[in-house]
Amino acid sequence: MLRYTILLFCVVISTSFGYDGHLAKLLRRRFMVNQISFTKCPNGFVRHDDSCYIVAHDIADWPTALQYCEAYGAHLAFIESEREQTFVANHVKSILSSTTSDRYFWIGGTDAVSEGEWVWALIVQPVIEYTNWSPGNPNDANGGKHQDCMAMYGATGQWDDGWCETEHNFICEIDLDINSVPAVIG
């Protein structure tokens, strides 16, 4: 059931952004394989609690950022607590110079399926336990054009709703499988 919910969500996402069937096919193919399981952070990722994070230096629109993270066994970051928010925001600030901290970073929230109902993409879990919206957001600014994707402002760590086709840096997260016990050989 979960596989079909995720697949339906991805198809809705790809069509609501005006992308052709190629993205939907690519996402559909991605969910037909087993997910990668990690017990420790890969090189380049930084650990916090039971997750690993990497701040991409590349820029991409939100759907492409989603694919990029998925290609590495990750997802766009889901920030689910104040503790996690503080870590991620401080990590972003630590790798940026003061002259480049005024940029946005895609994270994993979207309301593309149902306007005003923000969920963490791919798991379709409501963004309700913790939020860090900047004052007045989400605001779906600029009239009729929906801002359906969530970004974090690097300078403050606060969230904003943005146009999914805009290119930003992004933050990927891996959920560690802390229940796996590595095999002992010998």
Residues in the chain: 186
Q: Note the pLDDT of residue 6.
A: 38
Structure tokens, 180: 């796996």
What is the distance between the alpha carbons of residues 51 and 113, in angstroms, rounded to a whole number?
Answer: 26
What is the distance between the alpha carbons of residues 147 and 161, in angstroms, rounded to a whole number?
Answer: 5
Q: Looking at per-residue confidence, does 9 or 174 come out higher?
A: 174
Q: Looking at per-residue confidence, does 145 or 73 come out higher?
A: 73
CB 109 within 8 A of CB 117: no
Q: Note the pLDDT of residue 5.
A: 35
Q: Note the pLDDT of residue 129.
A: 86
The residues spanned by each domain of the chain are: 44-175
What mean pLDDT is predicted for residues 102-118? 93
Structure tokens, 7: 């697949």
At 88-107, the pLDDT tens digits run: 999 999 888 655 667 999 99
What is the distance between the alpha carbons of residues 50 and 40, in angstroms, rounded to a whole number?
Answer: 9
CA distances from 68 to 25, 133, 156, 161 (A): 15, 25, 25, 20
CB 149 within 8 A of CB 62: yes
pTM: 0.78
Beta bridge partners of 172: 54, 76
At 34-67, the pLDDT tens digits run: 467 889 999 999 999 999 999 999 999 999 999 9
Q: Note the pLDDT of residue 141.
A: 72
Average pLDDT, the chain: 80
Kindly report the CATH class assigned to 44-175. alpha beta
DSSP secondary structure code for residue 164 in this structure: T
What is the distance between the alpha carbons of residues 35 and 77, in angstroms, rounded to a whole number?
Answer: 17
